[in-house]
Amino acid sequence: MTSLADLRKTYSRESLTESAVDPDPIVQFKSWMEEALSAELPEPNAMTLATADTNGRPSARVILIKGVDARGFVFFTNYESDKGRDLEANPYAALVFYWTELERQVRIEGRVEKLPDEESDEYFASRPLDSRIGAWASEQSRELSGRLALVARATKFAVKFGMNPPRPPHWGGYVLIPESIEFWQGRPSRLHDRIAYKRQPDGKWRITRLAP
The active-site residue out of 104, 153, 190, 194 is 190
| Tally of residues, the chain | 212
**Is residue 127 among the annotated active site residues?**
no
Report d(CA 160, CA 92) in Å as an integer. Answer: 37
Q: Would you give the distance in Å from CA 45 to the centre of its chain?
A: 8
Nearest 5 degrees, angle CA 188-CA 106-CA 2?
A: 55
Looking at the DSSP bridge assignments, the partners of residue 195 are 183, 209
CB hemisphere CA count around 39 (13 angstroms): 17
Alpha helices in 16-112 (DSSP H): 25-38, 82-89
End-to-end CA separation in angstroms for the chain: 30
- Residues near 126 by Cβ (< 8 Å), separated by ≥ 6? none
Report d(CA 27, CA 20) in Å as an integer. Answer: 12
Active site residues: 190
